[in-house]
Amino acid sequence: MARLRRITYLTLGFLLLAYLLVFSGCAGSQNRFIKKTSFRGTHSILITFAGPVDEEWATKASNYRVYEKPDPDIVLKISTIELSTNRQTVILHFEEPLNQNQPHMVTMRGIMTEGKSVGTAIVKVRKLYLGYLFSILIGAMLVQNFVFTKYLGLCVFFGTSQKRSTAVGMGVTFTIVIVASAMMSWFLYQFFLKPFHLDFLQIIVFIGLVSLSVQAVDTILRKVNPMLFKAFGVYLVLVIANCIILAVPLILADNEYNAAESLMLALGAGLGFLIALFLMSSVRERLELANVPPTYRGLPIAFVVAGLFALAFLGFSGMSIF
Partner 1 sequence: MCPAVGISTTVMNGLMLGTAVLFVQVCSSCTIAAIKNYIHPRIRIPTYTLTIATWVTVIDLVLSAYAPEAYKAMGIFIKLIVAFAIITMRLEVFACKNTVAMSFWDGLGMGLGFMFGMVTLGFIRELLGMGTLLGHNVLGFRPLLFFALPLAGFFCVGFMMAIFNYVELVFNRRKKRRG
- Enumerate binding residues for partner 1 (CB under 8 A): 148-155, 158, 200-201, 203-204, 207-208, 211, 240-243, 245-247, 250-251, 294-297, 299-304, 306-307, 310-311, 314
| 50 versus 243: smaller Cβ distance to partner 1 | 243
> Shortest approach of partner 1 to residue 251 CB, angstroms?
7
> In whole angstroms, how far apart are CA 103 and each of 24, 82, 228?
14, 22, 43
* Least separation in angstroms between CB 75 and partner 1: 27
CA 288 to CA 285: how far, in whole Å?
Answer: 5
Q: Give CA–CA dist 158/156, Å, rounded.
A: 6
Of the pair 81, 198, the CB lying nearest partner 1 is at 198
Of the two residues 111 and 239, which places its CB atom closer to partner 1 in the complex? 239
Nearer to partner 1, 66 or 210 (CB): 210
Let me know: does 182 contact 262? Beta carbons within 8 Å.
Answer: yes
Minimum CB distance to partner 1, residue 183 (Å):
20
Residues 6+ apart with CB under 8 A from 195: none
Query: C-beta of 60: minimal distance to partner 1 in Å?
Result: 42
Closer by beta carbon to partner 1, 191 or else 303? 303
Q: Which run of H or E residues covers position 123?
A: strand 121-125
Strand partners, 108: 64, 121
CB nearer to partner 1: pick between 138 and 156: 156
Measure the CA–CA gap between 223 and 200, rounded to whole angstroms.
37
**Shortest separation between residue 242's beta carbon and partner 1, angstroms:** 7
CA distance 46 to 35: 11
Whole-angstrom distance, CA of residue 264 vs CA of residue 321 = 15
User: In the bound complex, what is the minimum distance in angstroms from residue 209's beta carbon to partner 1?
Assistant: 11
Measured CA distances, 42 to 95, 100, 135, 317 (Å) = 10, 8, 18, 20
